[in-house]
Structure 1
Amino acid sequence: CHFCGKIDIGGFWYKCLQCTNCDRCSSCMSSPKAWASHDPSHRFFPIQTNNDLSHYWIVKHDMEKTWQPPYVHLGVTCSGCQTPNIRGARHRCLMCDDYELCRDCASDPEKRMQHNPKHPLFPIKSPLDKSVYDEARRQVNDHAEARMTRLVVNRARTSIEHHDVTCMGCAQTPLLGVRYRCMVCLDYDLCSQCHSDPVFRDNHPLDHAFFPIPDPRFVTAYDDALDRLSRLGH
């Protein structure tokens, strides 16, 4: 055994499929210290005491045909541990221009919290996958721009002021955003927040309809609605 030094291993012994000169006894196969002394990603194959290695070489040959060494991202340094030339998958931020983590740092909660946890990380297995990352980032940016546009539009809507108008619910004046005016009472207005609040709405007869006025220029639409109601006999 290459860890404990035991000779003439009884029962099964285990041979590394990546390192042909590394063997272990069954006791060391279950020892955390033994695993820490060797690459934990390496696989071991069980061999009986009759030293029949035929199955071992078959498995090793099949594995080597499908196994590829991890790609090295030359010139790319991990922002977490500062290791240059990241090996294996690199995890690049979709929001920032130059922030990426190696596999170990991306799975480390402490290293992950050193960056904005709301920023998604995109795995790039090989340098050839950079175009896939670029497309993913483009979609994220398009979504962020659309969200910002909606936010600006919503802010513009709520910034509209109805001068000389006071909300009868919260006493806001001038009333901002959409103004809701009662179709029955001559002088009763609510802001959009109070209009959607059951407490403020219950302070006024529930059978009274409210007309939305999004802009002071549309007050005439309210007058037209009142005129139509009067002609209908309401």
Structure 2
Amino acid sequence: MLYIDDIVSGVSCDACLKANFRGRRYKCLICYDYDLCASCHEAKATTTRHTTEHPMQCILTQQDFDLFYGGEGVGNEQPQSLTCPFCGRLGFTELTLMEHTTAEHHDTNTEVVCPICASVPGGDPNHVTDDFNAHITFDHRGGGGGTSMASAAPSRELISFSAASASFILSPMNLQMNFPFFKAHT
């Protein structure tokens, strides 16, 4: 997959069938090789195999990445907001996703698409595993030779994408926790 400014090249939306679409891409973490453009995701598009309850990983175009993370000193090979493939919670880094799934989903053996593999350039966007906790531990963080993306960036759990604009919102409490110099007015 190639990102050119705001176009997702080599991927088509499985709902409207638009190829090489512009803007954000949403990757289903349950369905194999299932992607939605931002318009179809916001319209809650479904098919016979995909429902709105399936966790989705948002994959930013290079243009959106530069807008949302510009000036933070993070590499564009590192997705900054991962989705839990089991419960759909948003905003994890690789480390916090591993901690979450180990604590909350340690006995879950459902086949899922790895949101890390799907998000990084050169990763396998359709890597399915039935033991996600072992996969993330050994292939991403445990020195098993996979993609490692340790990041000290703050959690993105409160980023909100608007259909009307490419803006994001952080709550005052989250800003104060992640940026000690920020003082919330109450």
Q: TM-score range by the shorter chain?
A: 0.3 to 0.5
More helix, by proportion? 1
- Normalized against structure 1, the TM-score is what? 0.27
Bigger Rg over Cα: 1
Considering fraction of residues, name the structure with more strand.
1
**TM-score with structure 2 length normalisation?**
0.33
Greater relative CO, 1 or 2 (CA 8 Å, sep 6+)? 2
